[in-house]
């Protein structure tokens, strides 16, 4: 199927769809998922299923990626980068380049703008997003179709991903009107940034588990008691005694038996600490482009500034992606469903400015005797200007002597 260009989209707007009572195109029932420990073998098996030439199955991989997303560091890194993009102010401009304040104000007050922008940005992390417009609770919402139920390569939506019953969503009349998709739809091994950090999150969890066991051994060492295990009375008395002495693990052996502790590698946990630190660094690199605010021992201000600059570059790329998706799909869809009026509009973000450099440049101009508009300074830097301080001092002095 050929994807239409922007001219094709605008030709569709002669027949907008206005039906605010439309039911969701897809109704996917929630499915219970068992949470068990995952390892690299589970990841490789899920990737093999998702990479099948015919009828690829991605539900196992996305179930794993949802579990991986529970990592605290990974979640904070993705939220940090995503929120930097979501907070950027946008405007809607017409064909003449002038801001359409009415539509801009309308969209800036809609919750669904953040909902759909979140799913567009999630294509960086999870490859693909398919969603639908729904009217619920008196407002328009953008509802994500669970990725486990979507086959973007063949354009299929499964009501139950464990069955073979599907709907070809790209052949529906609601497609590109009530149903929108974003991201990569090709058969490739690139399933987004989250997939790239799966082994690091799994190794990190393993190291944390081992470290916690080491803490338990060092903190509450197990206890050993020798008694006559052939005498049931003495055995029961020994067991009761060990239970009453605390919660540490214990075992009881016979007086004639001998128990020896195995001599392992003596460590205080540095090997696990180093492993966790390595995994944290590897998790940060794909998401933020650098290690930000983690290495407090060897950190420096210059390293943090450089890392933030790298993250800002990634955010600019994310903002550019939002503009492309809104101008090629979202704005057209909102016109087709009758949410905004007909016309040729464009979604724009203000170009990012380095306010520190601009403020320094402004101070240099003022010191050089140049005039700078007070209103511009107030609007740009948020500094209210009430007048010239020197003139006010002269007036006060004149009034005093009068």
Neighbours of 109 (CB within 10 A): 8
Q: What confidence category does residue 289 fall into, taking pLDDT thresholds of 50, 70 and 90?
A: confident
Residue 17 resides in a domain: yes
E strand or H helix at 91: strand 90-94
Residue 215: per-residue pLDDT? 78
- Are residues 280 and 324 part of one domain? no
Q: What is the chain's mean pLDDT, rounded?
A: 82
Distance from CA of residue 14 to its chain's centroid?
37
Q: What confidence category does residue 145 fall into, taking pLDDT thresholds of 50, 70 and 90?
A: very high
- Are residues 213 and 129 part of one domain? no
Q: What confidence category does residue 107 fall into, taking pLDDT thresholds of 50, 70 and 90?
A: very high
- Are residues 132 and 15 part of one domain? yes
Residue 177 resides in a domain: yes
Q: What confidence category does residue 206 fall into, taking pLDDT thresholds of 50, 70 and 90?
A: very high
Indicate the residue among 238, 263, 288 that finishes a domain: 288
Q: Look at residue 12 and tell me whether its pLDDT is greater than 70.
A: no
* Residues 35-65 pLDDT 10s: 778 889 999 999 999 998 888 999 999 999 9
Residue 293 resides in a domain: no
Instruction: Report CA dihedral (324, 326, 329, 334) to the nearest 10 degrees.
Output: -170
* Residues 247-283 pLDDT 10s: 777 778 888 888 776 665 566 778 888 899 999 999 9
Number of structural domains found in the chain: 3
Residue of 81, 127, 122, 118 lying closest to 287 (CA atoms):
81
3-state secondary structure 244-302: HCCCCCEEEEECCCCCCCCCCCCCCCHHHHHHHHHHHHHHHHHHHCCCCCCCCCCCCHH
- Are residues 220 and 123 part of one domain? no
- Are residues 344 and 277 part of one domain? no
Match 């020798």 to its residue by tokens.
Answer: 226
* Residues 365-402 pLDDT 10s: 777 777 777 777 776 666 777 666 555 445 555 554 45
Residue of 132, 143, 116, 130 lying closest to 182 (CA atoms):
130
Percent of the chain scoring above 70 in pLDDT: 82
Indicate the residue among 255, 288, 321 that finishes a domain: 288
What residues make up the domain containing 263?
198-288
Residue 369 resides in a domain: yes
Helix, coil or strand: residue 5: coil
* Residues 304-335 pLDDT 10s: 777 788 888 899 999 999 999 999 999 999 99
- Are residues 202 and 84 part of one domain? no
Percent of the chain scoring above 90 in pLDDT: 45
Residue 296 resides in a domain: no
- Are residues 37 and 160 part of one domain? yes
- Are residues 258 and 225 part of one domain? yes
The answer to whether 59 and 47 are in contact (CB under 8 A) is no
Indicate the residue among 288, 311, 334 that finishes a domain: 288
Q: Look at residue 195 and tell me whether its pLDDT is greater than 80.
A: yes
* DSSP letters for 155-168: TEEESSTTSS-EEE
Residue 294 resides in a domain: no
- Are residues 49 and 134 part of one domain? yes
- Are residues 191 and 209 part of one domain? no
Residue 10: per-residue pLDDT? 39
Residue 295 resides in a domain: no
- Are residues 183 and 332 part of one domain? yes
Residue 386 resides in a domain: yes
- Are residues 368 and 326 part of one domain? no
């Amino acid at each position: 199927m050929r994807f239409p260009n922007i001219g094709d989209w605008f030709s569709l707007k002669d027949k907008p769809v206005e039906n605010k009572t439309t039911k969701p195109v897809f109704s996917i029932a929630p499915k219970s998922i068992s949470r068990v420990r995952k390892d690299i073998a589970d990841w490789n098996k899920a990737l093999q299923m998702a990479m099948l030439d015919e009828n690829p199955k991605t539900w196992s991989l996305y179930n794993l990626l949802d579990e991986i997303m529970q990592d605290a560091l990974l979640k904070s890194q993705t939220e940090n980068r995503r929120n930097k993009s979501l907070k950027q102010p946008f405007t809607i401009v017409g064909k003449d380049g002038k801001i359409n304040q009415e539509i801009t104000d309308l969209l800036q007050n809609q919750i669904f703008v953040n909902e759909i922008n979140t799913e567009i940005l999630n294509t960086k992390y999870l490859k693909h997003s398919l969603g639908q417009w729904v009217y619920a609770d008196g407002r328009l919402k953008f509802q994500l179709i669970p990725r486990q139920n979507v086959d973007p390569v063949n354009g299929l939506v499964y009501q139950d991903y464990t069955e073979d019953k599907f709907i070809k969503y790209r052949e529906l009349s609601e497609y590109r009107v009530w149903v929108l998709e974003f991201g990569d739809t090709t058969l490739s091994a690139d399933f987004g940034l989250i997939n790239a950090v799966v082994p690091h999150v799994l190794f990190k969890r393993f190291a944390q588990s081992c470290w916690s066991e080491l803490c338990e051994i060092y903190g509450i060492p197990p206890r050993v008691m020798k008694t006559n295990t052939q005498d049931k009375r003495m055995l029961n008395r020994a067991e009761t005694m060990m239970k009453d002495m605390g919660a540490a693990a214990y075992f009881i052996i016979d007086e004639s038996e001998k128990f020896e502790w195995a001599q392992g590698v003596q460590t205080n946990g540095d090997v696990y600490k180093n492993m966790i630190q390595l995994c944290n660094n590897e998790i940060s690199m794909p998401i933020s482009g650098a290690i930000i605010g983690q290495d407090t021992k060897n950190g420096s201000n210059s390293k943090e500034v450089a890392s933030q600059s790298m993250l800002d570059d990634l955010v600019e790329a994310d903002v550019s992606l939002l503009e492309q998706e809104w101008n090629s799909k979202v704005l057209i869809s909102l016109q087709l469903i009758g949410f905004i009026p007909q016309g040729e509009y464009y979604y724009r973000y203000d170009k990012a400015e380095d306010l520190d450099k601009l403020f320094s440049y402004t101070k240099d101009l003022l010191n050089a005797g140049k005039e700078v508009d007070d209103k511009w300074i107030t609007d740009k830097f948020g500094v209210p200007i009430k007048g010239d301080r020197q003139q006010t001092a002269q007036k006060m002095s004149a009034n005093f002597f009068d």
